Amino acid sequence: MIEFDLSLSRAGHNSGDGFRLAMAGRIDDGEFLTLFGPSGVGKSTLLRLIAGLEKPSAGTLKVDGETWCDAARGMHKPPQQRSVGFVFQDYALFPTMTVSDNVRYAAGRGESAWVGELLELTRLSALAERKPHELSGGQQQRVALARALARRPRLLLLDEPLSALDLSLRLMLQQELQELHQRFGLTTILVSHDLSEVFRLSHRVMVCEHGRIVRHGHPRDVFIGQAPSRDRLSLSGELLAKRRSDVVWILTLLVGQDIVEVIATDEEADALEPGMRLAISTRAFSPLLMPAGG
Amino acid sequence: MFADLDWGPLWLTAELATITTAILFVVGVPLAGWIAHSRSRAKPLVETLVSMPLVLPPSVLGFYLLLTLSPNNAFGAWLARTFDLRLVFTFEGLVVGSVLYSLPFMVQPVQAALSNLPPSLREASYTLGKSRLATFWRIELPSVRPALLVGTVMSFAHTVGEFGVVLMIGGNIPDQTRVASIAIYNEVEVHNYSGANAYSMVLVAFCFAIVFLLNWLNRRHKVVLR
């Protein structure tokens, strides 16, 4: 189990634009936890604090009863001595090493069989002798994952590993991530700002805002629970255009990756300009549901 | 023109440049690493000192080296007493002067390349349990190979071309301190323009080859490393 109660303050260039983080929580063994929130709220910083890449200004971090960090006592285990696998947003693959050398560097000597198994598992065996710059984004992501697993860490930390990839690849890799998590049962913390990712992968989500964890729980409880009413369908989108048609206005909205059109009255349309974010709420009663196909 | 040329100064130049470059590689690369990653308060000072030879007149550097290393002064006397080392008007003295004078040419490109590496490369290596030294040696240095090459070639070329420092602390002793650039000056002094021309042409050819090689390497690395 991981118990953390960490804070970090950083002075900004001007007074008032400094950064303050104060987050506390517990993570169970084998749990898949997501840190969710917009960028700049401290999700990645929390991950870096746990990995030992940043020092907190105050607080403690315990993993399985072992203290990794205790700011009051000036105790801070260096990242080398923390059993973590870290997947960076930019993957941070070593550019001069081949795929298998990247993994072997992490695994250490005499681990050829394990390296081979990892490459097999992440479907990289055929690419073992390639250099990172010869790989696609999804393949690079898999190398980063295999490398992070190579030391058999207690804790897997994933810093928006899928955000740079397109949708279909992301879905595929989410699936793989889920399979790897089931296979190794590793306690995993994922930083994400993609709701579908949170729903698909995590047992629990912590929602971060302004350097704090504001809500946590099962994704369904956290996100559906906050909808204005449970019998309504609530969406959020961006207004792309509005045009007049006879007596009403037609609004063109971007919801997720879909473009939809809805009707608005004069009064409503007057208050809206293209580019604005909108919350759309409608009755959830008896919608037409059908499989969309792949 | 080349038939009766004394090749001694050219060989001496090559020897000086080779030894200087080797020392610079051993000293300059760790120094570049320290400057690139250090958060010490001394960093701006060290950075400034390393870059000083770029703007300082070589004769000034040579003059102070001459004073410092002279056996008439405390440091020079101590060197002579303790190590039996005399650095004024000797080849060893030239090496010391050249190392200081060419230091920025090794340190700056390597430091710039190290600073430009994404920090996540180092951090990834740390989270994989590797020490700072192992990370520097196995991850960072291989990733800045082009800069190491540029630094090495530039240090060598710059040492070949130096004049002021060498003249101040080395003088003009045949087979000891008379390097090619001094030899040219010497030939002109005695109105032997043909000799001066021969040395000069060798240096022109050498410098052209060096710059050409550098450009070629740069282009090749851009292709390889994208």
* Residue type for position B9: P
Residues of B in contact with A82 (CB under 8 A): 127
Phi-psi region of A246 (alpha: psi -120 to 50; beta: other; left: phi over 0): left
Strand partners, A86: A157
| Whether A6 and A77 share a structural domain | yes
Nearest to A92 among B118, B130, B131 (CB): B118
User: φ, ψ for residue A6 (rounded to 5)?
Assistant: -125, 140
Min CA distance, B42 vs chain A (Å)?
22
Which residues, including other chains, have CB under 8 Å from residue A170's CB and lie 6 or more apart?
Answer: A162, A194, A197
pLDDT level of residue A283 (50, 70, 90 thresholds): confident
Residues of A in contact with B123 (CB under 8 A): 51, 53, 79, 86, 88, 92
Q: Could B225 and A133 be called an inter-chain contact, meaning their C-beta atoms sit closer than 8 Å?
A: yes
Question: Contact B117/B38 with Cβ under 8 angstroms?
Answer: no
Overall average pLDDT of the A141-147 stretch: 94
| Whether A79 and A157 share a structural domain | yes
Query: What domain range includes position A240?
Result: 233-283
Q: What is the pLDDT of residue B225?
A: 45
Q: What is the pLDDT of residues B129-180, one digit of tens each?
A: 999 999 999 999 999 998 999 899 999 999 998 898 999 998 888 888 889 9
| Whether A66 and A157 share a structural domain | yes
Comparison of pLDDT for A291 and A22, the residue scoring more = A22
Last residue of a domain, one of A210, A226, A242: A226
Q: Could A88 and B124 be called an inter-chain contact, meaning their C-beta atoms sit closer than 8 Å?
A: yes
Checking if the pLDDT of B43 tops 90, the result is yes
Checking if the pLDDT of B220 tops 80, the result is no
Q: Could B131 and A90 be called an inter-chain contact, meaning their C-beta atoms sit closer than 8 Å?
A: no
Q: What is the pLDDT of residue B105?
A: 95
| Whether A255 and A210 share a structural domain | no
For residues A93 and B39, what is the distance between their CA atoms, to the nearest angstrom? Answer: 25
Query: Would you say residue A192 lies in a domain?
Result: yes
- The percent of residues above 90 in pLDDT, for chain B, comes to 63
Min CA distance, B121 vs chain A (Å)?
5
Checking if the pLDDT of A63 tops 80, the result is yes
Query: Would you say residue A179 lies in a domain?
Result: no
Checking if the pLDDT of A189 tops 90, the result is yes
Domain CATH number, residue A249: 2.40.50.470
| Whether A190 and A77 share a structural domain | yes
pLDDT level of residue B222 (50, 70, 90 thresholds): low
Checking if the pLDDT of B226 tops 60, the result is no
Put simply, whether A146 touches B (Cβ < 8 Å) is no
Beta-carbon count within 10 A of A167 CB? 12
Nearest to B127 among A51, A105, A108 (CB): A51
Domain CATH number, residue A221: 3.40.50.300
| Whether A258 and A241 share a structural domain | yes
Q: What is the pLDDT of residues B73-119, one digit of tens each?
A: 888 889 888 888 888 889 999 999 999 999 999 999 999 999 999 99
Query: Would you say residue A291 lies in a domain?
Result: no
Mean pLDDT for chain A? 88
Q: What is the pLDDT of residue B46?
A: 94
For residues A230 and B204, what is the distance between their CA atoms, to the nearest angstrom? Answer: 83
pLDDT level of residue A109 (50, 70, 90 thresholds): confident
| Whether A209 and A237 share a structural domain | no
Checking if the pLDDT of A39 tops 60, the result is yes
ipTM value greater than 0.95: no
Residues of A in contact with B139 (CB under 8 A): 94
**Domains of chain B, earliest start first:** 8-116+144-225 (1.10.3720.10)
Q: What is the pLDDT of residue A15?
A: 58
Nearest to A106 among B120, B123, B128 (CB): B128
Checking if the pLDDT of A147 tops 60, the result is yes
Count up the domains in chain A and report the number: 2
Put simply, whether A106 touches B (Cβ < 8 Å) is yes
Query: Would you say residue A77 lies in a domain?
Result: yes
Question: Contact A164/A137 with Cβ under 8 angstroms?
Answer: yes
pLDDT level of residue B217 (50, 70, 90 thresholds): confident
User: φ, ψ for residue A25 (rounded to 5)?
Assistant: 175, 175
| Whether A221 and A237 share a structural domain | no
| Whether A220 and A239 share a structural domain | no
Q: Where are the alpha helices (DSSP H) in chain B?
A: 8-37, 43-55, 58-69, 74-83, 91-116, 119-127, 132-135, 141-143, 145-161, 164-170, 180-189, 193-225
Put simply, whether B125 touches A (Cβ < 8 Å) is yes
Question: Contact B187/B104 with Cβ under 8 angstroms?
Answer: no
Checking if the pLDDT of A21 tops 80, the result is yes
Q: What is the pLDDT of residue A234?
A: 76
| Whether A218 and A272 share a structural domain | no
Put simply, whether A88 touches B (Cβ < 8 Å) is yes
| Whether A157 and A276 share a structural domain | no
Query: Would you say residue A125 lies in a domain?
Result: no
Comparison of pLDDT for A132 and B225, the residue scoring more = A132
Query: Would you say residue A191 lies in a domain?
Result: yes
CB-count exposure of residue A79 (10 Å: 0-12, 13-18, 19+): buried
Query: Would you say residue A5 lies in a domain?
Result: yes
For residues B52 and B55, what is the distance between their CA atoms, to the nearest angstrom? Answer: 6
Record the tokens describing residue A39, joined without a space: 């960028």
Min CA distance, A130 vs chain B (Å)?
13
Q: Could A53 and B127 be called an inter-chain contact, meaning their C-beta atoms sit closer than 8 Å?
A: yes
Min CA distance, A214 vs chain B (Å)?
29
Q: In terms of CA atoms, which chain A residue is nearest residue B129?
A: A80
Comparison of pLDDT for B221 and B41, the residue scoring more = B41
Checking if the pLDDT of A227 tops 60, the result is no
Q: Could B127 and A84 be called an inter-chain contact, meaning their C-beta atoms sit closer than 8 Å?
A: yes
Query: Would you say residue A273 lies in a domain?
Result: yes
| Whether A157 and A50 share a structural domain | yes
Q: What is the pLDDT of residue B171?
A: 84
